[in-house]
Amino acid sequence: MKKVLLALAVVSASFSACVKVNIDDSLTNNGGTGGNTDCNDGTKEEKIICSKIITGQITENVTLPKGKYMLKGYVYVSNRAVLTLAAGSVIVSDTVSKGALIVERNSRLYAEGTAAEPIVFTSGKKPGDRKPGDWGGIILLGNAPTNHATTPTIEGGVNAQYGGSIAADNSGSLKYVRIEFAGIASDPGSEINGLTLGGVGSGTTLENIQVSFGNDDAYEFFGGTVNAKNLVAFATADDDFDFDNGYSGRIQFAVSCRKPDFVDPGDAGNGIECDNNAGGTTATPRTRPQLSNFTIIGPNSPTAAANHNYSNRWRRATQFVLRNSILMGHPDAGFSMESDETLNDYYTNNISEFKNNLVHAENNPYRSNNSALVSAAMIKAKAESEGCITYTNIADIQLESPFYSTNPNFLPKSGSPALSGTDFTGMTGFTAVAYRGAFGTTNWTAGWTNWDPQNTVY
């Protein structure tokens, strides 16, 4: 392919500028061609070619019109730059370089799709050949607090720092975004997740995002205060939602669904995994995610691959709030706690909350790693005294067709216990609804999600 160095126009209400990035003039992918679209806005003499390759560093504001782009290598948005992507854009990754998009502190990403025109980040391979780990993923880094003593470097081998003291920091906005076939490891235990968030502040918007077929975690929050709603994790290898290093934001309406034959063989995949930090110390601010209206769906299969683990796993001195949610189909506990600090903060100190949830697991719905301190029976009794219901028969929860397929339906059936029984007392910042789990009678995933990205032509 012939390559040229052109300029991407920056279009705003008040000014126009340009920044140089490498663009390929004849992008071919999936047996087709992106075409050469003239995107010149008339303010520059350069002919702007869209639907091309993006690589290198973006150090000035850039707005990309709707089109198809290829992400090649690690692309950094830095120097307080703002990258804006138009609704309906598709960003495929070069699968040789396994690209990733890293938005550094003080820079921002605005990827705001719509239900009719979501923005898609996906594999550059043709339908039928795509695999988890075909590319890296998206990394957002901000200046919000963490419980590290020094400024940490985000995992994944991208050599970028995160965290600070600005709780309301703004890293941009992601709305109606899909992230498919992401997740690569630079070293064991140091991976790029589908969406990695390091020290991201509450000024950032995260709404209507689907991460599917990720080779590590779907979402991992390293500290920060960012809030989110309408999140989907589908067919994740490791954890669907992972919280560490002092994360304290609010998330409402989230669903995860496991693929029975797909899990990280070197780790245990959980619906939720949460640590205060890797060392299990009580460093502050303590990790304490505030979660409501989650639907966590396990593989629900006696022949599922080993290492599908717990519906939610609280450990290493973390604190937490999980309320008004549905936890079902994992082989082991629907509610597991694994450190003395975590057990005490839930059972004795009432700092952590597990209330008004529907709880099921194939084996032992409740689990403690220190029965002498707080036993599983004690956890069960406390949970049920605070509005939780425990199920041995998963069908009694009465969801439509929630398990892995190319057309799942997570909505409650008529008469389901999920349609009532919530309690939002003391939950500032949450929307009070009557139903437990992520859905009532409206399917907010309709139109913009994709349950079969392997066979989609982009």
pLDDT at 95: 83
Which amino acid type is present at position 145?
P
**Which residues are CB-contacts of 319 (< 8 A; sequence separation ≥ 6)?**
276, 286, 287, 288, 342, 345, 351, 352
Please report which helix (H) or strand (E) contains residue 20, including its range: strand 16-24
Check: CB of residue 209 under 8 Å from CB of residue 195: yes
Residue 143 Cα to chain centre, angstroms = 19
**pTM (two decimals):** 0.91
As a whole number of angstroms, the distance between CA 244 and CA 224 comes to: 9
Residue among 248, 251, 240, 193 at smallest CA distance from 224:
248
As a whole number of angstroms, the distance between CA 339 and CA 275 comes to: 10
Beta strands in 36-192 (DSSP E): 53-54, 57-58, 62-64, 68-71, 74-77, 82-85, 90-93, 100-103, 108-112, 119-123, 138-141, 172-180, 184-187, 190-192
The dihedrals phi and psi of 74, each to the nearest 5 degrees, come to: -80, 115
As a whole number of angstroms, the distance between CA 272 and CA 282 comes to: 20
Q: Any idea which residue has 């498919």 for tokens?
A: 180
The CATH number of the domain covering residues in 54-447: 2.160.20
List per-residue pLDDT tens for the chain, 458 residues long.
333 333 343 333 322 333 344 444 333 333 333 334 333 333 333 333 335 899 999 999 999 999 999 999 999 999 999 999 999 999 999 989 999 999 999 999 999 999 999 999 999 999 999 999 999 999 999 999 999 999 999 999 999 999 999 999 999 999 999 999 999 877 667 789 999 999 999 999 999 999 999 999 999 999 999 999 999 999 999 999 999 999 999 999 999 999 999 988 778 899 999 999 999 999 999 999 999 999 999 998 877 777 888 999 999 999 999 999 999 999 999 999 999 999 999 999 999 999 999 999 999 999 999 999 999 999 999 999 999 999 999 999 999 999 999 999 999 999 999 999 999 999 999 999 999 999 999 999 999 999 999 999 99
Pairing mode, strands 16-24 and 3-11? antiparallel
pLDDT at 400: 99
CB atoms within 10 A of CB 455: 10
Domain boundaries, the chain: 54-447
As a whole number of angstroms, the distance between CA 324 and CA 288 comes to: 17
Q: At what angle do helices 340-347 and 376-385 cross, to 10 degrees?
A: 30
